[in-house]
Amino acid sequence: MSSEIFPPVPTETARAARSVFGRSNFYLATGDQVNSLFSGIILEDPHGRIHKPSRSQAMLYLITIFQYVETLPDNSAADALRLRTDWKYALHLPLTYPGLSASSFCEFRKWLLSDRTGEQTLQTILTRLSEVMLVTGKPCFSLPSGDIVRKVCLLSRLAMVWDSIGEILGVLAGKQPEWLRTVNLPHWYERYGNHQKTINLVARDSELEALAQQIGADGDYLLKAISDAHDLALANLPEILGMKQIWKDQYVLGEGKISWRKDACAYCSSPIHEKGFNEKINRTGTERRSA
């Protein structure tokens, strides 16, 4: 039996990827070298807290790196894994692979940040992948593995709060347009109303954190306005309840002021969710759901 983690690239994936991308493409070059990236690495959690098969863990390590390379938050990374041929080539997946939920990426990073062995494994993979990046013209990694994980967390957290408030404003515009006009702030349309516009995720961390703070203040203002309306139907909208939980996780409220949780969200301080982390991955070969 082969000791390699990844089986050969499926024929259909290889044909489709090579017809579009050249051999110098970063993801194709990664796919060609992927087993050597994990040579000698034992993908096991010494504390027994996770039970994912080794290939699934290997995929999550690489997806974390891909997110950093492209500044992709979790939802965008989930779309890329589901839709992009180059990612599927890099991970030796069939074209029909349905992808993973964005929450599985978050849960994996949470484990990485709590486990020194996982962080060291990521550092080893980053070092080995630097050779591929040199060949394909990509800039090499300038941050240690822990900082890369925290950067991806920042991108994903910011995208989450931005998407949440944008979604709620859309719901309110449809269900409570007159009430929304009475509380609407002038800058909301510019910040959240243009669905073709995306936040600048390649900005410096200080700028991203400043934007997160501004979004937090907008959300806090909106939630207070909803509370002051004394309208149970409005307050109990699923989107509003979901936003309340997101704001609780991502911000700290003290002395009437709301502050972005700069180092990590509240979710990261809670125990690792075994069920979430061991979420079923639609796998090929012998990979199965963990017990």
Whether 134 and 198 map to the same domain: the answer is no
Task: State the Cα angle at 96 between 92 and 99, rounded to 5°.
Answer: 75
pLDDT at 141: 80
Question: Is residue 288 included in any domain, yes or no?
Answer: no
Question: Is residue 266 included in any domain, yes or no?
Answer: no
Question: Is residue 187 included in any domain, yes or no?
Answer: yes
Identify the domain containing residue 119 by its residue range.
Answer: 11-142+272-277
Share of the chain above pLDDT 70, in %: 86
Question: Is residue 149 included in any domain, yes or no?
Answer: no
pLDDT in tens, 161-206: 999 999 999 999 999 999 999 999 999 988 887 655 667 788 889 9
Please state the φ and ψ torsions of residue 184, each to the nearest 5 degrees. Answer: -60, 135
- Report residue 52's pLDDT band, with 50, 70 and 90 as the boundaries: low
Whether 33 and 126 map to the same domain: the answer is yes
Whether 62 and 163 map to the same domain: the answer is no
- Report residue 139's pLDDT band, with 50, 70 and 90 as the boundaries: confident
pLDDT at 197: 63
Whether 81 and 199 map to the same domain: the answer is no
Q: Taking the model in full, what pTM does it have?
A: 0.86
Whether 137 and 188 map to the same domain: the answer is no
Question: Is residue 99 included in any domain, yes or no?
Answer: yes
Question: Is residue 53 included in any domain, yes or no?
Answer: yes
> What is the C-alpha to C-alpha distance for residues 226 and 236, in angstroms, rounded to an integer?
10
pLDDT in tens, 25-51: 999 999 999 999 999 988 865 455 555
Whether 114 and 220 map to the same domain: the answer is no
Whether 137 and 44 map to the same domain: the answer is yes
Number of structural domains in the chain: 2
Tokens of 168: 């709620």
Whether 79 and 159 map to the same domain: the answer is no
Name the amino acid, one letter, at 212: A
Residue 244 pLDDT exceeds 50? yes
Residue 18 pLDDT exceeds 50? yes
Whether 64 and 97 map to the same domain: the answer is yes
Question: Is residue 127 included in any domain, yes or no?
Answer: yes
> What is the C-alpha to C-alpha distance for residues 206 and 218, in angstroms, rounded to an integer?
19
Whether 69 and 185 map to the same domain: the answer is no
- In the beta sheet, which residues pair with residue 257? 254
Whether 170 and 246 map to the same domain: the answer is yes
